[in-house]
Chains A and B, each alone.
Chain A
Amino acid sequence: MDLKRRLAALFEVRPAWYTDLLTRIATRLNRTAIEGVLSAGSTMPDFVLPNAEGELVFSDELLAQGPLVVGFFRGGWCPFCSATLKALQEVLPDILAQGATLVAMSPDTAGHIRATKQSLGLQFELLSDVDNATALRFGVVYPVPAEYSKALLSFGIDLTRRLGAAAHLLPMPALFIAGTDGRLRYAYANGDVTDRTEPAAIVALLRSIRSDDPPVPGDDGCPVASATPDAGANDAL
Chain B
Amino acid sequence: MSRMVSDFKAFGLAYLRSRTGFFFALIFPVILILVFGAIFSQTGTQKIDLPVQDLDNGTWSQTYLAKLNATGAFAIDMISPDVDFNRYIKDELKVLALQIPSGFNESVNNATRGYGPPATIILKGDPTNTYFTVGMGVANAVALQLNSTVVAMVQTENLGSPQYTFIDFFVPGMIAFTALTTPMFSMSTICSEYRNRGFFKLLGSTPLRKSEWLTAKILWYTVLMLASIAIMYVVGIAAFNAHFTITPMAILLVIVGVFLFTSFGMFLGVFVSNPESASALANAIGFPMMFLSGIFFQLESMPAYLQYIAKALPLTYLAEGLRATMSLGNDVVAATDFVILLISGLILFVIAARAMSWKGK
Partners in one complex: no
